[in-house]
Amino acid sequence: MAATRKRKLPVLALDIGGTKIITALISPKGEMLAREYSLTLADEGPEAVIRRIFSAIDHLLALRNMTLGQLEALSIAAAGPIDMAGGTVSDSPNLPGWRNIPLRNIVKDRFGIDTYLINDAKAAVLGEHRFGAGQGVNNLIYITVSTGIGGGIIANGKLYFGESGGAGEVGHMTIDINGPACSCGNIGCWETLASGKALAREAIRRLSAGEKSSLIDMAAGRIENITAKEVSLAAQSGDSLAQSVIARTAYYLGVGLVNLVNIFNPEVIIIGGGLSKMGDLLLLEPARQVVRERAFPLLAQAVRIVPAKLGDDAGVFGAAVFAFQPR
């Protein structure tokens, strides 16, 4: 009886990214009852970010005029590898200074209700699998391509955690052994070539070398501030430098996808994250073409490479799915 009553309560889910924090109230049926954004300001370090997490939770409850007793649980999706046993963020390339921070207990101690912690890309794959582009699929990889590249794996119908909960760091496979150093300590990671950061860096490099582009006007001359978003807008307006930079990124994206197809033989690969908003023509179709040309034919034929459906909300949906799972 108590269990039945509890399941009707929503989860307050958070997605802590390198750039922003999303806070959402999600019902067991997947209804988004409320949603707020705030900035992570990750450069200020873990203590400041944790204060903002507390305040984001308080804020959403205040907005909805709710108490903690009206929640099933708190559930947090966070960037970087998570030690599932300890509930700690062990090491996050996109959250500077986070090393072995026991975020689950820190939040649980402050609010006093059940609290879950899961890697943001794992949360996103759970969200897309249950409510998005991966419904009913047994072998599925979700890739989030934004500032960095994260991933989550559904194998034989279940989220795959690996031995210590850290599986799915697909952004940190070397695809260019002579490539750039990655913030994770590895060399030539997929993320250093196919992420939003890599895309912007390449545009800035070419503009600094004197190439012409409408990006220079868009940035009012401050080309060092150009991000993937501006490059995408310029490309859509026909800017040839922007298009060429995105074509290169799409190629690198495809090379990493070939690796995942050959290793996993998935039925579906879902591409989410900021860069996926560039859409099929600029990004996904050229990447699919690389897969068709280079992956084992049997495996290339088996896979559908599709955009995510839940957008930025995959992480909070998935954090909620994780909290609602029977234990």
Binding site for a second copy (CB under 8 A): 81, 83, 90-91, 138-139, 151, 155-156, 158, 160-170, 172-179, 184-188, 193, 252, 255-256, 258-259, 262-267, 293-299, 301-303
Q: Identify the burial level of 281 via C-beta atoms within 10 angstroms of its C-beta, where 0-12 means exposed, 13-18 middle and 19 or more buried.
A: exposed
**Rounded-to-integer distance, Cα 265 and Cα 296, Å:** 9
Our CB check for a second copy shows the closer of 227 and 262 to be 262
Our CB check for a second copy shows the closer of 216 and 302 to be 302
**Rounded-to-integer distance, Cα 326 and Cα 316, Å:** 18
**Rounded-to-integer distance, Cα 285 and Cα 123, Å:** 26
Q: Report the C-alpha dihedral over residues 271, 276, 280, 281, rounded to 10 degrees.
A: -140
Our CB check for a second copy shows the closer of 9 and 155 to be 155
For residue 245, the minimal CB distance to a second copy (Å) is 17
Our CB check for a second copy shows the closer of 10 and 254 to be 254
Our CB check for a second copy shows the closer of 143 and 218 to be 143
Our CB check for a second copy shows the closer of 167 and 234 to be 167
110 token code pair: 């402050």
> What 3-state class would DSSP assign to 60?
helix
246 token code pair: 């995105």
**Rounded-to-integer distance, Cα 172 and Cα 181, Å:** 11
For residue 103, the minimal CB distance to a second copy (Å) is 14
For residue 133, the minimal CB distance to a second copy (Å) is 16
For residue 174, the minimal CB distance to a second copy (Å) is 5
The residue assigned the tokens 């913030």 is 183
Our CB check for a second copy shows the closer of 10 and 266 to be 266
For residue 145, the minimal CB distance to a second copy (Å) is 16
For residue 266, the minimal CB distance to a second copy (Å) is 6
Is residue 32 within a helix (H) or strand (E), and if so which, with residue range? strand 32-39
**Rounded-to-integer distance, Cα 218 and Cα 208, Å:** 15
For residue 149, the minimal CB distance to a second copy (Å) is 11
Our CB check for a second copy shows the closer of 223 and 270 to be 270
For residue 137, the minimal CB distance to a second copy (Å) is 9
Residue pair 120/15 in contact (Cβ under 8 Å)? The answer is yes
The β-bridge relationship of strands 115-119 and 140-145 is unpaired
**Rounded-to-integer distance, Cα 57 and Cα 40, Å:** 14
Residue pair 114/131 in contact (Cβ under 8 Å)? The answer is no
